[in-house]
Structure formats: C-alpha cells, structure tokens
Chains A and B, each alone.
Chain A
C-alpha cells in the first residue's frame, strides 16, 4: 500500500491523491491540522475507502524548543511533556487519552503513541517500550476491533549500532502487536557516507517484523525509499510532497518549523528520484546528444511525465500537479512489489542499475543536477540492500 504522509500544511495535496485513487490512504498529522478540520478531512477520506490512521506525534512532547504547531489544540498531552508524565501511575492515563481520541475518529487503524528512541540503554527506550506495552494492554480492554499498531521512532544513533537494533527488535517482538508503524531518522543531508548502513538497519527492522514475524509494517516518512521497505516486507509506506515528509526527523519540529517551499520537481519512476523541471528536465528534453534520453526518463507512471513525454512545451508544474505526479510514482512502485522477497530484491537491483545508467546518461548529456537530483540515493540504496542481505543472511 502507498499512503500519503500528511504534514507540513493542512491536508497537503491529499486531494490530488485519494480521489484519483493514486494512494490507498493517509497517515494524518494532528500537528498540521485544526482539530475540527481533522475529523472533517478524515470523513471525506473515508468516502474514498481510504486506509487512515493518525500519528499521535507524542514524540514532539519530549523535544526541547520544539514548535508543536497545532498539537496543543488537541489537548492530548502537555507540551513540552514533563518527565513525570511517564511515571507508571500516569502513563496509562496518557495513553488511554490518545487512543480514545483516535477511536472517535474514522480511522481504520489505531497507532500507539511513542517517543523517539536515541539509545537502547537510556530512558527514551524504556519510555517507548512502556508506551507500547500500555497501549497493548489498553487495546485488550477496549471494545474496538480496529488493529492497533505499535509505533517506534528510531533515531540515527540507534540505527547506527546494529546491537541496538537487535535489542530494539527483541523488545518490539516481545508482544504480538497487530502491526507496526515505524519511523526511521535517515536524514540524507547528514553524513551521506553513513546513509547506506542506516538504511540497511532500517530495512532489517522492517524485514524482521514484516517477514520473520509476519506482521503488517508501515514505514512512515519513507519517500521513494518506501519502495525498498515494501520489497523487504513492509505492507505500506508513506510519503508526502514536501521534503519534510520524505524522511523522519525530530528536527522537523524545530523552532521556526516551516521550511522552504519546494521548487517544481518531477518525480520519475525511471530514475527512482526527481528532477527540477525548469533546470534539469527541460534541458534534458532539449539536448541533442542523447536522442532517447527524455523518452527513457519520462517512461513510467504519472500524468505530468506523460505530458512532458508527449512534448508539451511547459506543462502545468503547479504544486498540486507535481504532488499528483509523486503520488502516481509511489503508487506505481508500490504496485511493482510481488510480495516474494527474492523476486522483489532481484527486481529492485535491476531497476537501481537501470536508474544508475540514466543518471550516467544525464551527466553525459551535460545536464547539471543539483544535490537532491544527483542520483546519489541510487548508490546508497544499492549498498544498503547489499548490507541488508548480509545482515539478514539472505
């Protein structure tokens, strides 16, 4: 399944996804939606038979100097959250309030609250595990048949240490949850060289919970790397239009929040990435060194890609059109997954190799690519899959 990761702004381009059937559902962000509107938007989404769940975003409560945006309006928990709130006596009340809030909404799945885990030996891990355990206990008592997903948010310090990942998995698998909603802090702007190892550990977590433990796994804030999570056993991945919805970071909740508006980008199935429309795609269309380059780049999903492929001079590159293109690419990648680990990994490897060739051709054609368009994700993903296969013994 492909789910739209809501966030950054109210109902971010969800209208481009659900009604057109480009996405299977939405993971909602209370921090970005007024309480009265959230219910309305979810009711609208329900009309499209959308899978939907609300990320309770409790992890924001522990951040220093966070910008909680609209979260305080929900009055689900104090912001910032005082440590005493995690005492055994108060924890149940905290979790119960968050679950009750979701129960009242037209969610199809419930998500247990969590905090971001920075180390398996510090308090954050214990709090996260207590939250999960408490949620499962409460779910047993609730008269609600919707699946409750345990959530876990692993910071890069956890992903950087395989022993910590093993301990995290040992703990997460102690209880038989209905499923897992996972958030991995893999910020491509930090330590690019270390990205592959972090991603391989995230893939290993997904594989262990999805394939070995046979549980539904949703990976949030996945961007196009959601394709890899799906290939190793995730049931769903989520991505949103804005950069901040492409990878998880508690830093997204920093003071000032907003972030810059993205330039018009086109996401392309062929390169498993994106290009700036004006500065990269158009020159690629115009160049003469590689006659088939544009055709090969634009092959695949998306109405915007199709318009460019048909030679439209300057197709509409409004945000909503670009968002729709992203959603169509995500949905197409999601559709590619056969659900057989060997077949899917082999296919991903071939597609990464084909994408790498296209980036090489872009370079050879003299197209200069900016940092986000450079294709560096391809080598990271290739290395991550190799490391993952070693780690998982497959």
Chain B
C-alpha cells in the first residue's frame, strides 16, 4: 500500500513545501543521474512505445491456430493460448487498452481531485467542511466492491464508462492531499500580496497557487494511473470487463478460466501480471525520485549520515 502511505506522508504539512521553487533545476539535473529516475523513465517509456506503435507490428491477436499451448519459441515469442492464439500479440494489443484506461482514469481522477481539493482548501469555511466530508466519506468506502456493484448493476463495460467509474471512485485521497497543501500555501506572503493588490480569485488560484502544487499533482497523477490499471485488472479478472476488449486483466481472466494453471502454461498468465507490476513499478520509481526532489529532509539526513553514530546502533 505504498499508494496511501506516500500520500499521507506527503500530506504532512510543511514537509513537501520547502524548496519547491529554489534550486529545482539544479536538483533535477542532479537527479537525472539517479538510477531510480532513469530506470523508471525507461520502463514507462518502453510500455508507452509498446502500446502506441506495437499493435501495428504484431499478428492478429485473436487468430486461432492449431498450435495449442505451444511453449515460447522463435515463432511464438511468448507461446500460445489454449486455442492457439499468440500470447505476445495479445499482450501488445492489451498494453494499449490498459494504458488508455490508466491515463484516462488517472487524468480524470486527478482533475476532480484538483477541483475539489483546491477549491475546498482555498474557500475555507462551510464549503471546505462540506468538501472535506465528501472526500473523507468517498475515501473510506472501499472502492472495488463499489465498482463491482455498479458494473454488475449497469452492465456497463465500454472503455469510456470504465474510465468514468474508476475515476469517480478514486479521486478522494489526492483531493485530501491537495487540500492540505492549499491550506498551507493560501496564507503565504505572495498569495496575500496578490490578494492585497486586488487580483481576481481565479487568477490567484491558477497563477499563484496551482503552479506551486504542480509537483504534488503530478505525483498524485502517477499513483492514480497505477491505481486505475490495478482496479481495471482486478474487475476484468473476476469477469466484469468487456470480454472482447483485450486488456492485461482480461488476458488473466481468460487464462485462469481456461485452466492455464493446471495445464502448466505459465507463459500465458505470467506476462500480463508482470506488465502490470513493471509498469506500476516504473511509475512508482519516477514518483520516488520526485519525492526525493521535493522532500529535502530525505536528502539532508543522507548528507549527515557518516557523522552520525546511529548506523551501528540498535542491532537488536
């Protein structure tokens, strides 16, 4: 559950705010050498390429052949399914739909969280009370059972319906972080100065406040994308997806129901899950580097480390 924990860590007031503006460029340059950021960007870039141009180069993922449960070989890089479909072709085509859901639902959830979090934090008073209550209630109601029930009732399984349903159930954690952030930014001198000089509210929000929260918003977006892909994979796996739409979760559902396990066809069910985990790890690594950039305390301490006697202590 790194998702919630990193979010709550970022929500600690006064922790993520210092040093956002100053020296950011030099820190980015410094972090470009960080293996974490490079690895994360490479993984995410690889999947984006795979999803965008990959489908043009692979064979028909639904073509049925007589090569049933073929092991991985030169002809079938990742073997074949129980009805002889090429697993690699399916994986590449699935990548596109899974990324679309991740990006779509991630962007939409982040947009909702920005609107609710910033307007609540900036407006204060009864509006803030109401929006906070709303976020906390949405946060505490478990998402997946809700999504499952909605999908089962409506029988909606088109791509856009899935994106909207996932986004509307997953914005709350980010909204809470952004509200806390807005509360701390709202009373900074430059915001007070802008208000005193008579700037309009929308200008203060979009020009003074929003840019300062951009790093947090990007971080929330990355997590929202991981979350959307995981959620979609889960309900597709239990059979609530569109059966004709190839996604990573849907591949796992088909593999599980076609007894891929007892047939020993590991090449069928390992790759889709590995893609989800790897892509999620790529996003998390980028986020991790971002966190190091924005949270100076994580760096300051490292510089002090050699002088401290702690590393030898506490070997209980």
| A, B co-complexed | no
